[in-house]
A and B are shown apart, each in its own frame.
Chain A
């Protein structure tokens, strides 16, 4: 399959994100720079969250209020509560501890 690479456009995107992350940073690393690569593994993994969680949410919590450590602890609680029945329990069980950490760091790093 042919992949279009527009040198000019690629350079522009790299410049746009250079302040925070190298375009060659390895996938899945947990340092802060990689956590805010907008096309990185963390971004794609965390992208599902904003389908429900928005600033001002009440019945579904506003994630921007939480630190990454708090988010990680909450998600692990959901994941490990054997008798939990909420939608978050059911979904958290599908993510590994590493994925939960990656998502938590990304959400904190990109919070408004």
Chain B
């Protein structure tokens, strides 16, 4: 992946928007870039709300492999095929699906250029590019390092790679899980992964250990995870937070070594959740700021840097909403309604949003965290008195019930994004 082509044109775009001599076609054209939970949901919602508009989805992959539940694939509880979703339903709904990569966006001219050479013009653009990895941020962790030390933080071949390494590992081996500093995609994801790797090891390689080397000092649902790890896996999982020398400073994939400030750990399997930022196209479009993420208006999700471009999902700065599939799906629906209102000359309308993230602590038990958010000064804020996590030390039946809810949630959200 190259960032050499990055162009930041937002200053020009901001200056020129009001007087841009843009030639409009007769039909309103909304382009959505990125066919994940955010983009696919946005395209389908826009299709419903704007029956006369051209709705175009640009996504390079012909099928989407979902990250939620992919930790169950690593544990051997699901197949990767069960994570795959196509775009046939979107096409049948008269969404034009183009499988190509976007190489550039010109927010001033309101055009985007595809790798295939085609130029598309838009009235409004919805970017849902997810994340890309910052290959310059963790010394030693290069694009070629991922074979030896998989990230598996985008579902696909990397998910298989990590699963097969665990299967090839000797009993009594060490699995290291390096977690980058927040913010990153799916805040509870590393700890769900630790849980499900441990559940695999307990059944298949019970003398093995899992060491979490964390660049953070606290994590999502920490008390619930820790309690579950003790109950289910004894001392198999060891967590080292940043203050306990858990921060990985450098990796050596050839030697299978991870270096902290004071220690060098040699692992049999090393899973690295690497430093991240908004998907590459966000940087090329000029909608990402110095943090690597995309500042947005919390009512419309319109970029604060380039007008007529909306950014949803993991790439957006929507904290305290987490970078989750649930958030991306919810933001997509809200953003689509606001875009439809703007196209129809109606003022945007502020709303309340919510999120729930389920995490498996074993193949059969799950815990959850919820939040409710409102708009406050153009940003999201937690609604006081709402949100929270599953109860501590709850009966196993309650954890099983939440696992059943997680399965219903997955059916609902994949159905809404990709159709039946």
> Which of A43, A52, A93 touches B372 (beta carbons < 8 Å)?
A93
A34 → B minimal CB distance (Å): 12
Complex interface: chain A residues within 8 A of B349 (CB): 27, 40-41, 44
Whether the Cβ atoms of B409 and A60 lie closer than 8 Å is yes
Asked if A8 CB lies within 8 Å of chain B CBs, one says yes
Closest-by-CB residue of B relative to A99 is B352
Q: Annotate A13-52 by CB proximity to B: 1 below 8 A, 0 otherwise.
A: 1101000000100010000000000111101110110111
Point out which of A5, A12, A41, A52 has the most chain B C-beta atoms below 10 A from its C-beta: A52
> Which of A50, A53, A94 touches B387 (beta carbons < 8 Å)?
A94
> Which of A3, A58, A90, A95 touches B370 (beta carbons < 8 Å)?
A90
Main secondary structure of the interface of B (DSSP, over half): mixed
Asked if A54 CB lies within 8 Å of chain B CBs, one says yes
B216 → A minimal CB distance (Å): 23
Whether the Cβ atoms of A52 and B412 lie closer than 8 Å is yes
Whether the Cβ atoms of A3 and B409 lie closer than 8 Å is no
> Which of A1, A43, A53 touches B17 (beta carbons < 8 Å)?
A1
Whether the Cβ atoms of A9 and B343 lie closer than 8 Å is yes
Complex interface: chain A residues within 8 A of B343 (CB): 4-6, 9-10
Whether the Cβ atoms of B17 and A52 lie closer than 8 Å is no
In the bound assembly, the distance between CA atoms of A90 and B49 in angstroms comes to 30
Q: Annotate B326-357 by CB proximity to A: 1 below 8 A, 0 otherwise.
A: 10011001100110111111100101111010
> Which of A44, A52, A91 touches B409 (beta carbons < 8 Å)?
A52
Complex interface: chain B residues within 8 A of A57 (CB): 408, 411-412
Whether the Cβ atoms of A87 and B356 lie closer than 8 Å is yes
Whether the Cβ atoms of A51 and B416 lie closer than 8 Å is yes
Asked if B138 CB lies within 8 Å of chain A CBs, one says no
A2-B308, A9-B27, A44-B351 as given contacts; A91 in contact with B411, CB under 8 Å: no
Complex interface: chain A residues within 8 A of B401 (CB): 59
Complex interface: chain B residues within 8 A of A23 (CB): 344, 346
In the bound assembly, the distance between CA atoms of A91 and B386 in angstroms comes to 6
> Which of B51, B374, B386 touches A90 (beta carbons < 8 Å)?
B386
A95 → B minimal CB distance (Å): 6
A1-B17, A45-B351, A99-B352 as given contacts; A39 in contact with B340, CB under 8 Å: yes
Whether the Cβ atoms of A52 and B356 lie closer than 8 Å is yes
Whether the Cβ atoms of B352 and A5 lie closer than 8 Å is no
Whether the Cβ atoms of B412 and A51 lie closer than 8 Å is yes
Asked if B252 CB lies within 8 Å of chain A CBs, one says no
B53 → A minimal CB distance (Å): 6
Complex interface: chain B residues within 8 A of A91 (CB): 354, 356, 370, 372, 386-387
In the bound assembly, the distance between CA atoms of A64 and B342 in angstroms comes to 30
Whether the Cβ atoms of A2 and B18 lie closer than 8 Å is yes
User: Within residues 51 to 71 of chain A, which ones have a CB less than 8 A from any CB in chain B?
Assistant: 51-54, 57-60
Asked if B266 CB lies within 8 Å of chain A CBs, one says no
Asked if B113 CB lies within 8 Å of chain A CBs, one says no
Whether the Cβ atoms of A47 and B407 lie closer than 8 Å is no
Whether the Cβ atoms of A93 and B386 lie closer than 8 Å is yes
9 closest Cβ pairs, A-B complex: A94-B372, A94-B386, A59-B404, A47-B333, A94-B383, A90-B370, A60-B408, A93-B386, A54-B412
Task: Point out residues on B near A: beta carbons under 8 Å.
Answer: 17-18, 20, 24, 26-28, 45, 48-53, 123-124, 302, 307-308, 326, 329-330, 333-334, 337-338, 340-346, 349, 351-354, 356, 368, 370-374, 383, 385-388, 390-391, 394, 401-402, 404-405, 407-409, 411-413, 415-416
Task: Point out residues on A near B: beta carbons under 8 Å.
Answer: 1-6, 8-10, 12-14, 16, 23, 27, 38-41, 43-45, 47-48, 50-54, 57-60, 85, 87, 90-95, 99
